[in-house]
Amino acid sequence: MPTLSLDETASCACGAVSLRIEGLVRSMLVCSCLDCRKSTGTGHSAVVLMSTDSVAVSGKTKGHTRQAASGSEITRYFCPQCGTPLFARTARAPLLALVPAGLFDRPDWFSPSQAIFSRTHLDWDTLDETLPHYDTYRDNGGF
């Protein structure tokens, strides 16, 4: 993946919470695990991985922690007023923030390099066939 540095802002649907994203993108991916499907209400999530120090949050958020398909705990943060998903953090990669690409007004720069948790991908959810697909994570265990 070519190096991409973001300088973007995003906000929830009601505007009570905003994110300032500034820094290098670690990875861009789609995930079809059950947890991501439940959190998005569709067949997969589209995620931008950023260092936690590249994401500044303004406004009050609420988090919900559960065990993810990887076996690690994941905390998903959302706006307590409108429910918009804002970002997630996982114990598996505590220095990364998982930011939904759809949170940005114009994420034309989003270009996933992989599809993870393809073992639970739904046939009706069409993904780019040229993306590398992994049953869980990439073979080396990373994002």
In this structure, the number of other CB atoms found within 10 A of the CB of residue 64 comes to 11
> Does the pLDDT of residue 140 top 80, yes or no?
no
The verdict on residue 133 lying in a domain is no
The three-class DSSP label of residue 32 is coil
How far is residue 122's CA from residue 106's CA, in Å, rounded to a whole number? Answer: 26
Provide the CATH number for the domain around residue 53.
3.90.1590.10
Q: Tokens 């804002």 — which residue?
A: 86
The verdict on residue 9 lying in a domain is yes
Is the model's pTM score more than 0.85? Answer: yes
> Does the pLDDT of residue 141 top 60, yes or no?
no
Beta bridge partners of 45: 31
Looking at the 3D structure of the chain, how many domains does it have? 1
Between residues 95 and 119, the one the model is more confident about:
95
Q: Compute the average pLDDT of residues 21-27.
A: 96
Burial 38-59 (b: 16+ CB within 10 A, else e): ebbeebbbbbbbbeeebbeeeb
The verdict on residue 141 lying in a domain is no
In this structure, the number of other CB atoms found within 10 A of the CB of residue 16 comes to 16
The three-class DSSP label of residue 120 is helix
The verdict on residue 131 lying in a domain is no
The verdict on residue 125 lying in a domain is no
Residues 28-79: pLDDT tens digits?
A: 999 988 888 888 888 889 999 999 999 999 999 999 999 877 788 999 999 9
CA nearest neighbour of 19 among 77, 93, 90, 95: 77
The verdict on residue 140 lying in a domain is no
pLDDT of the residue at 2: 58
Q: Residue 68: give the domain boundaries.
A: 5-120
pLDDT band of residue 134 (cuts 50, 70, 90) is confident
How far is residue 25's CA from residue 32's CA, in Å, rounded to a whole number? Answer: 21
pLDDT of the residue at 81: 98
